[in-house]
Amino acid sequence: MNKERLLWCLGVVLVLAVGFGYGYQRNLRQRYIEYQSKKDDLKTMQQEVDSLRQKVEETRAGIATLENNPVETEARARKDAGMTRPGEIVFKIERSSTGEVTGVEADGGGDGEKLPAED
């Protein structure tokens, strides 16, 4: 019985030694850590891709709005490019942080690009 028990214990020790030796030789722990790191990186990149896809959809919707809505197109041209209609006077009101008017500037539209006249 003692001999059987000794052989059984030696077998268990041998299996454990082979298992640890294999894992050590193949560097399994380090490879697992790298795998987890890359898995986290992939998740982060996927979230970034999803965010960028959403921005693309929002931009496409904005483009469609500009193409189909002349009022929006004019508003964007006025705001972004400083365009005015012929003969139009633009007043620029400057306010302080308290909300008080600190200056008013009138621009006759002579310097900026012109929007086409309405028919």
Amino acid identity at 78: R
pLDDT at 110: 52
Cα distance between residue 104 and residue 93, in whole Å: 5
Amino acid identity at 41: D
Global pTM?
Answer: 0.49
User: What mean pLDDT, rounded, does the chain reach?
Assistant: 83
SS3 21: helix
Q: For residue range 50-67, what is the model confidence (pLDDT) as tens digits?
A: 999 999 999 999 889 888
